[in-house]
Amino acid sequence: MVNWEEAYAGALPYAEFLSRHGTDAHRQRWQAAYERAAVTPAQRDLLARFEREMHLLCLAGTWCGDCVREGAILQRIVEAAPRLHLRFLDRDEHPEVAGALAINDGLRIPIVVFLSEDFFECGRYGERTLATYRKMARERLGAQPIAGAALTTPEEHYAAVVQDWMNEIERVQLLLRLSPRLRAKHED
């Protein structure tokens, strides 16, 4: 079993993660994704109203295309959220964490573990969002997704991925806000 507080303490902030694990080419790809990612005013307003501290621990690789997009989006989101804190672990340097977060018997990334203010696990999300799986189904299977509108431009896809992450982050924030344990602790 992973000690999430220790894992988080050993994880790196965004820029340090890229500096330590990325090549110049990797950092350029992450920067391009960061510049493309955007948080809307309505999303910023929602994030500013969060009351509980949350730690997001992202298992990733600088070489991973999905991590490039998702990591940059997550960084943009936490920059707009005073109560969100984001750190990254390199999948290849942390095989015990990668094993604990395997999906469908595979070492998939990026995976985010949502942690409370006192490092209790509250959820996991990744490795691709619903918007990305819908896009992949259209491209690779020629299939219309089961539900959801077709996103025709890269900008629409990015916006949908941001919203997917926003939905999950809000879900965990509400879990924490409604937690009897934390409500008793904060007397609210």
CATH number of the domain where residue 149 is located: 3.40.30.10
Res 11: pLDDT: 98
What integer best gives the mean pLDDT of the chain? 94
- The strand pair at 111-115 and 84-90 is best described as unpaired
Res 141: pLDDT: 80
Q: Which domain holds residue 21?
A: 4-186
Judge whether 50 and 80 are in contact, CB under 8 Å: no
Q: Quick check: pTM over 0.75?
A: yes
Residues in the chain where the model's pLDDT stays below 70: 143-152
For residues 56 and 99, give the distance between their C-alpha atoms in angstroms, rounded to a whole number: 18
User: What are the residues whose beta carbons fall under 8 Å from the beta carbon of 47, sequence distance 6 or more?
Assistant: 39, 77, 80, 81, 84, 169
Q: What is the CA radius of gyration of the chain?
A: 17
Res 119: pLDDT: 98
Res 151: pLDDT: 62
Res 57: pLDDT: 98
Res 157: pLDDT: 87
Judge whether 164 and 38 are in contact, CB under 8 Å: no
Say how many domains are in the chain.
1
For the segment 18-43, what is each residue's pLDDT rounded down to a tens digit? 999 999 999 999 999 999 999 999 99
Res 149: pLDDT: 62
- On the question of a cis peptide bond just before residue 127, with omega within 30 degrees of 0, the verdict is yes
Res 167: pLDDT: 97
